[in-house]
């Protein structure tokens, strides 16, 4: 009896091993072909980039962080002479549109905030490029037609001073912000227009959304210029809650010992920072090679080290919870960009009462 059981067990193990070998032989060529295809794609770009020899990146995020990314690219592709031009978001928009109107094709790659990236797409600034690295990015973090891909995402959250707000009193929902205890104790950036537009939708849209915003305005929000300033004042105890802050800002302050923390009110507003190739790039092969690098695991890990939240699915933020993977999110909305002036006016009249 024992011999029969043993014989059956050996037979079962043998069958499992054969099955595994068959599966392995089926999938490996497919994966290898995909890898080979990506390698051929990169080799072709390298060949073209060597002939071009140059790359100009128009960047709006901080110069030290941009230099860190570019230094990594330079180590990998030393035969390309690279240059960075850095400006603020609106200055960059004006510069690019002026250059296009004048027929000057100067830059190869450009990054910008989400709303500006929507505008760049509609005005023909971006050229379509379906990088093979895009398969590692969620649908909400990339343009479906291939005009841009998010390289990091700011999660819009509520920050609070841990010395002024006990754990049991921390707001958990947008409705909680209307509690009488928070009157006169909240602050917000004076230009959080996009967040305002999304909040209107979250709270029901139309008259229902406006009714919520009017109640929030009645809470006596203190308006300041810039999220970084609000984060600093929050840590100093100037107010109890900071609305529409980026969680990376609060988390960094927390890591430095500041008495602050944050809560991601659901659904979380996701503001993707996008990268795209110029539609008229002087060095198109170098431009695509650079986009591939920034979207690669190596490029995204460099971005993560700068305390930003990488959008690539297999790269964690420096503090993993910054990605808010367990939270429901609101994807980017191009319709807000198209009606932006309307929301700016509503923000000023309804929320700021001016």
Best CA proximity match to 271, nearest among 239, 306, 227: 227
> 238-249, pLDDT tens digit by residue?
999 999 999 999
> 324-352, pLDDT tens digit by residue?
999 999 877 778 888 999 999 999 999 99
List residues bridging with 188 in a β-sheet.
Answer: 223, 243
Determine the number of helices (DSSP H) and then strands (DSSP E) in the chain: 12, 11
Rounded-to-integer distance, Cα 281 and Cα 194, Å? 30
Rounded-to-integer distance, Cα 317 and Cα 302, Å? 10
CATH of domain 155-270+334-351: 3.40.190.10
Pull the structure tokens for residue 317.
Answer: 């933020």
Between residues 56 and 89, the one the model is more confident about: 56
Sign of the torsion angle spanned by Cα atoms 222, 223, 224, 230: positive
| Percent of the chain with pLDDT strictly greater than 90 | 82
Pull the structure tokens for residue 285.
Answer: 């092969």
CA 269 to chain centre: 11
**CB crowding 78-117: b at 16 or more within 10 Å, else e:** eebebeeeeeeeeebbeebeebbeeeeebbbbbbbbbbbb
Q: Where are the domains of the chain?
A: 1-39, 40-153+271-320, 155-270+334-351
Best CA proximity match to 253, nearest among 315, 162, 154: 162
CB 241 within 8 A of CB 159: yes
Average pLDDT over residues 19-42: 51
Average pLDDT over residues 36-44: 90
pLDDT value of position 335 = 83
Domain 40-153+271-320 in CATH 2.60.40.10: no
Do 40-153+271-320 and 155-270+334-351 fold alike per CATH?
Answer: yes
């Amino acid at each position: 009896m024992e011999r029969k059981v043993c014989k059956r067990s050996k037979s079962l193990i043998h069958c499992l091993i054969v099955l595994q070998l068959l599966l392995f032989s089926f999938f490996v060529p497919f994966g290898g072909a995909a890898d080979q295809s990506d390698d051929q794609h990169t080799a072709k770009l390298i060949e073209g980039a060597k002939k071009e020899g140059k790359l100009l990146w128009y960047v709006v995020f901080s110069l030290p962080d941009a230099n860190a990314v570019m230094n990594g690219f330079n180590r990998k592709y030393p035969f390309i002479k690279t240059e960075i031009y850095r400006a603020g978001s609106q200055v960059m928009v004006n510069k690019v549109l002026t250059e296009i109107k004048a027929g000057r094709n100067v830059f190869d790659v450009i990054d910008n905030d989400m709303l500006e990236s929507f505008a760049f797409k509609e005005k023909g600034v971006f050229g379509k490029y379906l990088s093979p690295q895009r398969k590692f990015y969620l649908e909400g973090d990339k343009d479906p037609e291939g005009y841009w891909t998010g390289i990091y995402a700011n999660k819009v959250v509520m920050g609070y001073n841990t010395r002024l707000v006990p754990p049991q009193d921390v707001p958990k929902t947008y409705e909680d912000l209307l509690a009488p205890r928070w009157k006169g104790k909240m602050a917000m950036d004076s230009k959080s227009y996009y967040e305002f537009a999304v909040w209107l939708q979250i709270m029901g849209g139309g008259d229902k959304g406006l009714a919520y915003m009017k109640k929030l305005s009645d809470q006596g929000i203190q308006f300041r210029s810039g999220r970084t300033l609000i984060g600093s004042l929050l840590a100093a105890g100037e107010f109890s809650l900071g609305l529409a802050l980026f969680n990376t800002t609060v988390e960094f302050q927390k890591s430095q010992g500041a008495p602050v923390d944050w809560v991601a009110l659901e659904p979380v507003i996701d503001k993707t920072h996008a990268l795209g190739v110029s539609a008229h790039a002087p060095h198109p092969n170098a431009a695509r090679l650079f986009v591939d690098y920034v979207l690669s695991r190596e490029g995204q890990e460099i971005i993560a080290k700068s305390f930003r939240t990488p959008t690539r699915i297999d790269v964690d933020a420096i503090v993993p919870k910054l990605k808010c993977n367990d939270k429901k999110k609101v994807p980017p909305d191009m319709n807000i960009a198209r009606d932006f002036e309307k929301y700016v006016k509503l923000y000023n009249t309804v929320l700021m009462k001016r």
